[in-house]
Structure 1
Amino acid sequence: MSDWLTDTRDSYDTVAVSYAEHTRELLNGLPHVRAALRLFAEEVDGPVADVGCGPGLVTAHLHALGADVFGVDLSPGMIELARREHPGLRFEVGSMTEPLGDAVAGIVAFWSLIHIPDDEVPTVFKHFREALRPNGLLMIGFHAGDETRLKEQGYGGHPMRVHVHLRQPERVAGWLSEAGFTVEAQWLLGTDGAILFARRG
């Protein structure tokens, strides 16, 4: 496993409980994000993978909207917590840098690509496309910007070591197009966030 992957896994294992507490009510204050999730749930027809699911907040929200969804995360600590908090849903340990395995109708990657280095993103999108059925829908949320930050502490003051990559929507859209996706919509969330909808041809 690459050093950055190991650092990311270990960091989120460390902060899993405090991260879950920090984000538990997060969606309540994000109406535009909830609207994106509702639109995705309405448009997708079949199983959905929530990749980088963390403690399962978005997975559970999509399930409540009627989606047939399961969660995948690099961190065993996060998956253990997600299984405990959402016992009726399926969660498994896995990395988006490897093939997903399941054939799915939709993939959600909400603020989980932010730790993937630039040179690995095309491979991740290749794996996403291979996992999606024809006409499958992909929704990505991420921090918008033009910098990389090293995060060494977070969520209750616990030590972390993760790089957070901020990217312009146009750049992410370009990678998606190169991977064989058609970008259908770009939503800007204030000045520092974006959501992209893309479909496999």
Structure 2
Amino acid sequence: MVDRQTLDVYARQATDYARLFSGSEPDADLLAFMGQLPKGGRVLDLGCGPATASAHIRAAGFDPDPLDASPEMVALANETHAIGARVGTFDDVDATDEYDGVWANFSLLHAPRADLPRHLSVIHNALKPAGLFHIGMKTGAGEARDPIGRAYTYVAVDELHDLLRSAGFTVVTTREGTGKGLAGTDDPFVICLSRKG
């Protein structure tokens, strides 16, 4: 299910979002993810936004497949990086044993809580055996809109671990922290790196 209000925010602020996350070097989480991928591995960048991560993934010698529900973000990604980003939602992922890694960095937090088990199961199916899965989520409880109108599902760390295990993943590492995003608020988050079991 796609939340129209969330997509409208990204449509209006695609350029601002890209500027905010336009690091010229991959961050520590992306480096850790790429460090465990096989040489030349294929990576689904799920909710790629302006595809900054995909550009870093490609530069490191991997094969990114950037996907985002926002046509404006996809257009910006392709204009900036000529990277073959495509428009699609979480429900459009239908691959089987195709990817060596899936990078879902603060994208699945826009999915309703009730849909998370289904999306994680689909991602598990899309990964090759022992495939790598990175997920970033904001921590907390419930579902709400942020100050600029985006829909969020907040999770507890143990809850995310349980969701991952139930989908067939083995959690490898977990990192908690706080950070500012497009809304400008300093929010707690969790990042988990897992492998397909």
Do they fold alike, i.e. is TM over 0.5?
yes
Question: In 2, are the aligned partners of 1:38 and 1:65 still within 8 Å (CA)?
Answer: no
Please state whether the residue corresponding to 1:192 is helix, strand or coil.
Answer: strand
**In the TM superposition, what is the alpha-carbon distance from 1:15 to its structure 2 partner?**
1.7
Unaligned runs of 5+ residues in structure 2 are 179-186
Percent of pairs with identical residues: 29
- Indicate the larger mover: 61-70 or 114-123: 61-70
How many residue pairs align between the two structures? 186
| Deviation, structure 1 residue 119 | 0.1
Task: Answer yes or no: is the 8 Å Cα contact 1:41–1:66 preserved in 2.
Answer: no
Aligned to 1:127: 122
Moved >3 Å (runs of 4+): none
8 Å contact kept, 2:113–2:143: no
CA distance in 1, matches of 2:189, 2:65: 24
Is the 8 Å Cα contact of residues 183 and 196 (structure 1) preserved in structure 2? yes
The aligned residue for residue 96 of structure 1 is: 90
Aligned to 2:183: none
Partner of 1:54: 49
Q: Which amino acid aligns with 1:42?
A: G
Residue 189 of structure 1 aligns to which amino acid in structure 2?
A: G
Task: Tell me how far apart the structure 2 counterparts of residues 123 and 11 of structure 1 sit (CA, whole Å).
Answer: 25
Q: Which amino acid aligns with 2:163?
A: W
- Matched with 1:180 is 168
1:163 partner letter: A
Cα distance in 2 between the residues matched to 1:10 and 1:65: 32
Paired position in structure 1 for 2:9 = 11
Give the Å deviation of 1:120: 0.5
SS of 1:66's partner is coil
Q: Aligned-pair distance for 1:177?
A: 0.7
1:141-163 CA distances to partner (integer Å, 9 max, x unpaired)? 1212224331352xxxxxxx321
AA partner of residue 189 (structure 2): G
Structure 1 residue 36, shift from structure 2 partner: 2.0
One of 154, 168, 176 as aligned partner of 1:166: 154
Pairing 1:79-118 to 2, within 5 Å after superposition? 79-87=74-82, 89-101=83-95, 103-118=98-113
Which of 28, 37, 44 is equivalent to 2:37?
Answer: 44
State the TM-score, normalized to the length of structure 2.
0.85
Instruction: Answer 1 or 2: which has greater helix percent.
Output: 1
CA distance in 2, matches of 1:122, 1:42: 27
1:193 to 189, 192, 195: 189
Partner SS, residue 90 of structure 2: coil
Secondary structure of the residue aligned to 1:53 is: coil
